[in-house]
Amino acid sequence: MGTSKNVLGLDIGSNSIGFSLLKLSEENNEMTFENLTSNSIVFTEPFSAKERRDARSSRRSNERKSNRNRNVRNIFIDFNIADKSFLTDTTNYLNNFKLAENDVYNIRKKAIFGTKLTKKEFILATYSILTNRGYCNMFSISDEDSVVNEAVMKNSHEYSKNNYKLPSMVLTKRRENFKDTYHNFPIRNKKDDYHNSLNRDMHIEEFEKVVLSQANNKDIFKSAEDCENFRSKIIDSKYSAFYQRPIKSFENMVEFCSFYDKFNPNGSYKKTPLSNVKNIELTLRQNIDNNECIDEKTGEIKTLNIDEIDKIIDFWVNRPSSKEINATNIFKSAGLKNIKLNIGKKSSQVILNIQAHKNILEVLNKYKIDFQDTQNEFYNELLLVLYYFKNIGSRVEQINHIINKHNLNIKNNFTDELAKLQDMSGFASFSLEFTCEVLDIMKNEKKIHSEALESIGYNHKYLNMPAYSYLPPLNPNKKDIEWLEENDKYFDKKHLFYQPMVSPKVKRVISILRKLINKIIKEHGKIDEIRIETTKEMNSKNEKEKIIKNQNKHKDKNSEAKKFLINHELKESKKNIDKAKLWKEQGSKCLYSGEYITKDDAFDEDETEVEHFIPRSVIWINSYKNKILVKKKYNRNKSSLHPVEYLKSIGEWANFQGRVQEVYMDLNKKDWLTKEDSINSVMKKEHWQKSYLNDTRSAIRTIQKYLNHYLYPNKNAHNKGGKNHIFCVSGRAVNELKYMWGIHKIMPKNKDNNKDRNTNYHHTLDAFVVALCSSSSITALHSYFKDKENKFKIKALNEKINTKQIQSKDGVGVVKYLKQLVEKYEKNELHVCPYNKRKTNIKGFKDSNLKLYITENADSNEMLAEIEKVSIDKSILNKIVNGFPKPKSDKEVLDYIKNIQNRLDTKKQKKIICAIEIYANKLIDSRSKINVIEKEIKKLSITLKKSVRHKEHDAKVKESIKLNEKQNKILTKELQEIKCSFSIKNNKRQIVKCLRLKKIKIEKTKADVIIFKDRVERLSIFNFKKALSDKEPFVIKMNESTLNVKLFNTKNRGQAVGLNYFSSISNDIKIKINNKFTEELKNKKCDLVLYKNDIIKVDNPIKCKKEYYVFNGGGNVSGGNNKLSIKNININSFAKINKKDEAEEKKEDRITPNKAAIVSIVKIDFFGNIIES
């Protein structure tokens, strides 16, 4: 009798989930399937944490600055220095000042040297200080933190050294020095230039000096007391321009203890700092208990006694000699010689970084704080302050509060020294409370670490928990818990799963996955097994960076190989690309024999072949590091033999190792090919068989733990003897199974014959294969590769695969079944589920302020076109490649300048044309000198011997490097100070920092809105001209495609489309609708509102046809009715034929509602069912 089980296959990506629930039956070693439900869910990828953080920071910063400036203007009005229009119409109020001198720096200088200012002069002189309040690093715990600080420090020293009357005179003095040279020398900082930065204290000092200089000026202040009150209100008030709120504590960002988590009924505690002495002690005891102590001389395992362990702990807590504890120094530094801790083959031998502990210990010992005994509570609170607060001011305030709380008499320097400590970051896995409990058990009951955890119940926390048939949210809030208590009979708050440090990307995936699984369980009952494959997008940041780095490296090698093939007129195939790379890498030698391989032999199928060093029947690695190029005659007898055993049998193993070490090859690959112990480990098939069914990427571990916790809870500690229900499948295994079964032939392909990721339904096919990826499938795969290595069995193998495919319960082979599924998606008979949040109120404008001009189109009609801003600075030396700056060649720089020159007026801008070319050549010349020196420094660095015997030689080399670095610094500064300028009258020069040029391609602007101070209007040539003639301030913004659309039912023309901006201003600006509908729709409410990501049905009643799309949030104005912007559901593009009669793909399309295209909103559930509204 066969067995059957419901298996859920999942293909999880950062913006998609493919799922397939199959009922698998196995009888007589043959598997059949029944597809219970399969589909793909797609959703938009979330913004990165940095993008969200930057946007949030920018919003808050702008809001606070606006509030500060408003408060300041109110103070000016309260003291009768300005009238109310200064608050309500600031720009016009200041622009209407008609002053002989309007340079604010000169006005301040006048004031400080005794001139009585008018109210208008006083407002200009002081308000300009308050709107730009100077640099202040609230996170600073040292005086030299950044590039900005370097400029601030330099300007501060210059101010003190020269005894200037005002801080700003540091900047105006520079302008005076260049007044005979430059007409427009800047005082304010320009982009990426911080030379003119002043700190907050200097701005406050400047403001106070200017204000107090006018204390006796009766035109401004009634009395000196009135002047002091004004100064005090601006400087000291909580709502003043210079007020800086204290940096908030980081406590809310600290995770809960892994045992006493936020749901633990016995209490919830935050994690303790890594540098807490209790955590250091526990970490040491844990590592000593869990790892072997090896005598380095004899190799024997040594057991440490209690006194020796206490001695080690005492040393590292009270007298640490290093900033980190590692496997080598843990005993040696504590006086126990010739003993090493064997912590295995971990990439890092570091046990714990204790730099922060060393820093705080120095201060505590200096002031004789008994941090381990009588003053331990004070120490614990102190440590939290240093970890929770990151700036000196907040730390000082909090430390003083703790000192007073504990009635301690400590000198003031103690607080200052502690507040300046650095490297206070990082938290342990557990709270101080849990750590102390474990230590007490270990010391009082003489138990090792694992036994202490057992005593405290760490491994029994969730035992006897029932299997849930409903997945609660990952981190439920109060309302979620109340709902669960009312609706789930099994629910108990102590069962809740706590998972710290989950990225927003993973949270989002889990949120959707949870809803999907709850739906599946509700409709199909219990899931017996879950098999998961993940994509690289779900990796952690470090894992992803490593993958990208390797991909880029392989991409470069592939590009070189392709050029080689083209130059030698060889076929550009995958096999030949590998051969070209290997031939070059191996120095044109056969690694098995050492014989030379000619170019012709390298690409001759009868002479050479690409060999999988470790046979694919053992591991299915098809990666480059497992490939070598060998002569066929030396590879015939190897087949699937152990490579080391084979090479030893022909007496070539040692020679092979030597040849590998001689060639130009990655160290990782050299190790893979030559380390005998590693090769022996890899050849153990069982190890690899397990690894392909248990992929352990960080994101997937979180998902696996979450699902296991509720659906398949452990029945005993560590689930000993329990059955595994969740398997994380290697993507490699899935791909190989596709090839073995022939599924790869029906997978959607792009023009390069790779997987077409433009389709959304390919996730379903992947999930289907994942569900079929059982242990028996893995065994079959091993047999497949083993037979494949025997060239005489290949024909029989292909026949076997074709006749013995996995079949559905109705006898349909898996390839044919999936082919039918693909056809349904392609014919839109089956739909994936677009699961995107409905965008009802999102930003509708980009952050630019466009500059426009009036020109004519091809039909001689007026139109508005755009002007772009082109910077003329050292950035012309670089180009952006893949988001990163890369140096341009000298030719590229000059070509770029030539392009700019061609866009300038040869008569009116002749001097600028010459100036930018001279400037570019100066930059190129300066850069060349810097490059020469940098090459010399690199050359000298290579000659360093770094040994005692060559101490004198190294000293000379270091001195040469130092001189070159000094010269490099001078030249770099000179390059930064080169200015683009041209001569004007009076022998002065005009600096050119940027140019506003007409775009190369002149076309009508896509901007559609003009924003005035009191209103928003649709942009037209008429209101643009009027605003210019009336000199009314305005801003022109580029609207994004994120619009909401209103549909109106008409009598004879179907639905009229009214385009609107985001809903926050929907009532302030008229919808854009064709004039022919104006009269009919006057005062009529819309019948339907569409928002971005709505799923729409387009019904053609004439042809009885229905089509479904995702509304993309906007549309286009057309001659008749406006158009709606749409996206496909199953595929991410539309196939179109362009004007050149060429096929091309577009991300979106547009439709015009009419009698034959009636639009309505629908929904698609997870399983692809259409739900009509």
Per-residue confidence (pLDDT) for residue 693, from 0 to 100: 38
What's the CA gap between 568 and 629, in Å, rounded? 19
Q: Going along 981-1083, which residue ranges are E strands?
A: 981-983, 989-991, 994-998, 1009-1012, 1016-1018, 1034-1037, 1044-1049, 1055-1060
Binning pLDDT at 50, 70 and 90, where does residue 690 land?
very low
What's the CA gap between 86 and 107, in Å, rounded? 20
Distances in Å between the alpha carbon of 975 and those of 147, 572, 890, 921? 17, 46, 15, 11
* Residue 175 CB neighbours (<10 A): 16
> Is pLDDT above 90 for 1155?
no
What's the CA gap between 491 and 1128, in Å, rounded? 41
What's the CA gap between 757 and 763, in Å, rounded? 9
What residues have CB less than 8 Å from 949, skipping those under 6 apart?
none
Q: Is the separation of the CB atoms in 331 and 322 below 8 Å?
A: no
Q: What percent of the chain has pLDDT over 90?
A: 31
Binning pLDDT at 50, 70 and 90, where does residue 153 land?
confident
What phi and psi values does residue 177 have, to the nearest 5 degrees?
A: -65, -30
What's the CA gap between 1164 and 803, in Å, rounded? 38
Per-residue confidence (pLDDT) for residue 431, from 0 to 100: 94
- The H or E element that residue 995 is part of is strand 994-998
What phi and psi values does residue 98 have, to the nearest 5 degrees?
A: -110, 95
Average pLDDT (704-723) is: 83
What residues have CB less than 8 Å from 927, skipping those under 6 apart?
877, 887, 975
Q: Which of 306, 347, 352, 346 is nearest to 329 (CA)?
A: 352
In the three-class reduction of DSSP (H, G, I as helix; E, B as strand; rest coil), residue 587 is classed as coil
Per-residue confidence (pLDDT) for residue 561, from 0 to 100: 87
Binning pLDDT at 50, 70 and 90, where does residue 688 land?
very low
Mean pLDDT of the chain: 82
Per-residue confidence (pLDDT) for residue 756, from 0 to 100: 63
Q: Sign of torsion, CA 404 408 411 416? A: negative
What residues have CB less than 8 Å from 855, skipping those under 6 apart?
862, 863, 865, 1002
Average pLDDT (542-559) is: 61
Of 142-151, 205-214, 441-450, 477-486, which gets the smallest average pLDDT? 142-151
Higher pLDDT, 567 or 221: 221
Higher pLDDT, 411 or 507: 507
Binning pLDDT at 50, 70 and 90, where does residue 397 land?
confident
Per-residue confidence (pLDDT) for residue 276, from 0 to 100: 95
CA dihedral 921, 924, 930, 935 (to 10 degrees): -140
What's the CA gap between 595 and 634, in Å, rounded? 10
With 0-12 CB in 10 A as exposed, 13-18 as middle and 19+ as buried, what is 483?
middle
Per-residue confidence (pLDDT) for residue 51, from 0 to 100: 66
Per-residue confidence (pLDDT) for residue 331, from 0 to 100: 87
Per-residue confidence (pLDDT) for residue 401, from 0 to 100: 92
> Is pLDDT above 70 for 622?
no
The count of C-alpha atoms lying within 13 angstroms of the C-alpha of 885, restricted to the half-sphere facing its C-beta, is 6
> Is pLDDT above 70 for 819?
yes
Higher pLDDT, 595 or 749: 595
Average pLDDT (702-727) is: 84
DSSP 138-168: TT-SSS--SHHHHHHHHHHHHHHHHT-SSTT
Binning pLDDT at 50, 70 and 90, where does residue 382 land?
very high
Q: Which fold has domain 3-47+731-834?
A: Nucleotidyltransferase; domain 5 (3.30.420)
Binning pLDDT at 50, 70 and 90, where does residue 94 land?
confident
Higher pLDDT, 524 or 1092: 524
Task: For residue 588, give both structure tokens.
Answer: 């044109």
Per-residue confidence (pLDDT) for residue 1116, from 0 to 100: 65
Binning pLDDT at 50, 70 and 90, where does residue 692 land?
very low
Euclidean distance between the first and the last CA atom of the chain, given in angstroms as a whole number: 47
What's the CA gap between 1018 and 1020, in Å, rounded? 6
Average pLDDT (1114-1137) is: 77
Higher pLDDT, 851 or 1134: 851
**CATH 3.30.420: which residues of the chain?**
3-47+731-834
Q: Sign of torsion, CA 571 576 582 587? A: negative
What's the CA gap between 579 and 581, in Å, rounded? 5
> Is pLDDT above 50 for 1045?
yes
Of 341-345, 350-354, 615-619, 779-783, which gets the smallest average pLDDT? 779-783
Average pLDDT (584-591) is: 88
Residue keyed to tokens 């893979």: 672
Q: What is the pLDDT of residues 1012-1040, one digit of tens each?
A: 877 777 788 998 999 999 888 888 877 65
CA dihedral 294, 299, 303, 304 (to 10 degrees): -50
Task: For residue 735, give both structure tokens.
Answer: 């791909």
Binning pLDDT at 50, 70 and 90, where does residue 1117 land?
low
Task: For residue 632, give both structure tokens.
Answer: 């066929």
Per-residue confidence (pLDDT) for residue 40, from 0 to 100: 96
Task: For residue 205, give both structure tokens.
Answer: 């000092």
Distances in Å between the alpha carbon of 989 and those of 184, 350, 872, 913, 1084? 8, 60, 16, 15, 63
> Is pLDDT above 60 for 526?
yes
Which pTM value belongs to this model? 0.69
Q: Which of 403, 1165, 446, 429 is nearest to 831 (CA)?
A: 1165
Q: Is the separation of the CB atoms in 502 and 745 below 8 Å?
A: no
Q: What percent of the chain has pLDDT over 70?
A: 83
Binning pLDDT at 50, 70 and 90, where does residue 329 land?
confident
Q: What is the pLDDT of residues 31-87, one digit of tens each?
A: 899 999 999 999 876 666 666 777 777 778 778 888 888 889 999 999 999 999 998
CA dihedral 711, 717, 719, 720 (to 10 degrees): -160
Binning pLDDT at 50, 70 and 90, where does residue 596 land?
confident
Of 51-55, 404-408, 629-633, 878-882, which gets the smallest average pLDDT? 51-55
What's the CA gap between 169 and 113, in Å, rounded? 13
> Is pLDDT above 70 for 574?
yes
Per-residue confidence (pLDDT) for residue 752, from 0 to 100: 62
Average pLDDT (502-523) is: 90
Task: For residue 819, give both structure tokens.
Answer: 């082919």
Binning pLDDT at 50, 70 and 90, where does residue 633 land?
confident
Q: What is the pLDDT of residues 1062-1071, one digit of tens each?
A: 555 555 667 7
> Is pLDDT above 80 for 687?
no
Per-residue confidence (pLDDT) for residue 250, from 0 to 100: 82
Higher pLDDT, 696 or 1143: 1143
Average pLDDT (1105-1123) is: 79
Average pLDDT (743-770) is: 80
Per-residue confidence (pLDDT) for residue 831, from 0 to 100: 95
Residue keyed to tokens 């016009």: 92
Per-residue confidence (pLDDT) for residue 1065, from 0 to 100: 55
Binning pLDDT at 50, 70 and 90, where does residue 345 land?
low
Task: For residue 1078, give both structure tokens.
Answer: 């104006």
Q: What is the pLDDT of residues 249-260, one digit of tens each?
A: 888 889 899 899
Q: Is the separation of the CB atoms in 832 and 826 below 8 Å?
A: no
Higher pLDDT, 468 or 99: 468
Average pLDDT (372-390) is: 92
Average pLDDT (662-687) is: 75
> Is pLDDT above 90 for 601?
no
Per-residue confidence (pLDDT) for residue 696, from 0 to 100: 38
Most confident segment among 530-544, 894-908, 986-1000: 894-908
Task: For residue 929, give both structure tokens.
Answer: 């000198």
